[in-house]
Amino acid sequence: MVQLSSIDTNSQIDSDLVLMQETVPGGAYWSGVIKRGNTLRITDLEGSRGVSMLCYNADNAIERFNAADTAKIQFNAFLKQGMVIYTDMGRILFSITQDTSGCHDLLGGCSNAISNAKKYGEGDWKNSRDNFLKALTRSGLSKKDIMPNLNLFTRIAVKPDGTMEFREGCEKPGSFIDLRAEMNVLTIISNCPHILHPGSIYDPKPIQIQIVKSPAPAPDDLCRTANPEAVRGFINTDALFVQ
Amino acid sequence: MTATTQQLLDPKTAIYNEVLPATYPWARVIKKGQILRIVDLGGNQAVDFLVYNADDPSERYSAPDTIVNQGNIFVTTNSQLISNEGRAMMTIIADSCGRHDTSGGACSCESNSVRFGLDKKYQHACVENFLAAILPYGLGKRDLVSNINFFMNVPVSEDGTLEIVDGISDPGSTVDLRAEMNALVAISNCPQMNNPCNAYNPTPIQLIVWDAV
């Protein structure tokens, strides 16, 4: 195991299965490739203000996360256990095999320099859009590759008239989400407060990233059998790896 | 939601006035100050819509920046379409329908295969149209982002449930957009016939452009 930093999280993973572990401070970003079959666990260590995330097919990054398809195909705009994360090409990046948070947003997008200045005043507050750009550039990608992103550990409620409302009180220190990679996934994480988080003090909390060796999905795997759409999504995805 | 009507613009004074057949793509630069009217001729037709800064297409429509800016997932009169640089690209100055979808995105061959059956991959889809529309401008797949669906109704409930339901636009519904920069507009007059987004029956739309007043 590559122990880049150590923190105790009660995460109940057999330490032999943990391939990599790292703590990402508030305001920082992380990127890495999660190989097909391994699981990315992201743990909210101290009550997150939101974690913004982008993901791509690591073998062909022109295929990428699609928020609209992910919501539309599963008839839900919040991510939770049993759901999957779709690319823009009818395939699956991640399965959500466990989730103890239940608060993940597909609508709100990410913070930027202007939104941070409005909330926190003048200052060099790290924001997700700039974090995304720096991480993408390291992978040979650029501004054109920024799509609407997903946000972990936050809930945006939508009223019948379409009004968006940040739901406070969703922070649960110690909660985590397990994302099993269904293809090789280039993952970019920006640990900055959600753009709609109402706090006026910039105080993002650390998160933990673990890459975990996970067992092959069983025939009755929750995500693979969730609905006919998921079954077809996995047929499309598995076809990438037939040879 | 704010449904309004715009009586001031006379199609006789337009510089462009064409009918776009059902399922077809379209693209045109709408210069700063010009007004584009989209007419839902048959009613309940989903009009998939993207916009780029014509002078620097790496600046493009951003769905989350647009909805966060106005605090609402639907666009209607007075909504500004915000770019990934945080700037207003177009403003909806009139809207006889009342709400338009920002969250459903476009149909693609691939998403159709997942949603409706693997054999549906070979059907024509909005992504096909968008690619055909933007290719002549030197743009490609990396330039496709989540789009607006004019005249399409995708309510999201408080528990996140999202439905694509029958539209709320009648035959003749219109939306008027004023360009706030030189704007490359790409439209797919959605070919989708597998779900109610256009009542299982794609129909033509009319596109009218007026010069700045």
Which residues in chain B have Cβ-Cβ distances shorter than 8 Å to A149?
64
Q: Distances in Å between the alpha carbon of B48 and those of A1, B81, B127, B186? A: 48, 14, 9, 8
Cα gap B203→B130, rounded to integer Å? 18
Taking only the tens place, the pLDDT of each residue in A60-92 is 999 999 999 999 999 999 999 999 999 999 999
- What is the structure's pLDDT at A17? 94
Q: Nearest-CA residue of chain B relative to A104?
A: B160
Q: By percentage, how much of chain A surpasses pLDDT 90?
A: 92
Q: Say yes or no: A118 contacts chain B, CB-CB below 8 A.
A: no
DSSP lists the bridge partners of residue A189 as A30, A53
Record: contact A233-B58, CB cut-off 8 A: no
What letter represents residue A207's amino acid?
Answer: I
Taking only the tens place, the pLDDT of each residue in B99-121 is 999 999 999 999 999 999 999 99
Q: Say yes or no: A236 contacts chain B, CB-CB below 8 A.
A: yes
Pull the structure tokens for residue A31. 């990127």
Q: Say yes or no: A93 contacts chain B, CB-CB below 8 A.
A: no
Are the CB atoms for A18 and A162 separated by under 8 Å?
Answer: no
Q: From the CA of A19, how many Å to the nearest CA of chain B?
A: 32
Specify the pTM. 0.94
Is the pLDDT reported for residue A220 higher than 70?
Answer: yes
CB-nearest to A143 from B58, B103, B109 is: B58
Instruction: Output the average pLDDT for chain B.
Output: 94
Cα gap B104→A17, rounded to integer Å? 38
Phi then psi for B156, rounded to 5 degrees?
Answer: -120, 125
Record: contact A109-B103, CB cut-off 8 A: no
Supply angle C-alpha B57, B174, B143, rounded to 5: 15
Q: Say yes or no: A66 contacts chain B, CB-CB below 8 A.
A: yes
Among A8-12, A13-17, A179-183, B209-213, which range has the highest average pLDDT? A179-183
Give B209's contacts (C-beta < 8 A, 6+ positions apart): B14, B15, B16, B17, B28, B30, B34, B35, B36, B37
Record: contact A145-B121, CB cut-off 8 A: no
CB-nearest to B162 from A77, A161, A196 is: A77
Q: What is the mean pLDDT of residues B157-171?
A: 85
Give B102's contacts (C-beta < 8 A, 6+ positions apart): B63, B66, B67, B73, B74, B75, B146, B148, B149
Record: contact B67-A71, CB cut-off 8 A: no
Q: Say yes or no: A183 contacts chain B, CB-CB below 8 A.
A: no
What is the Cα B156 distance to its own chain's centre?
Answer: 19
| Confidence band, pLDDT 50/70/90 cuts, at residue A8 | very low
What is the Cα A62 distance to its own chain's centre?
Answer: 18
Which residues in chain B have Cβ-Cβ distances shorter than 8 Å to A145?
142
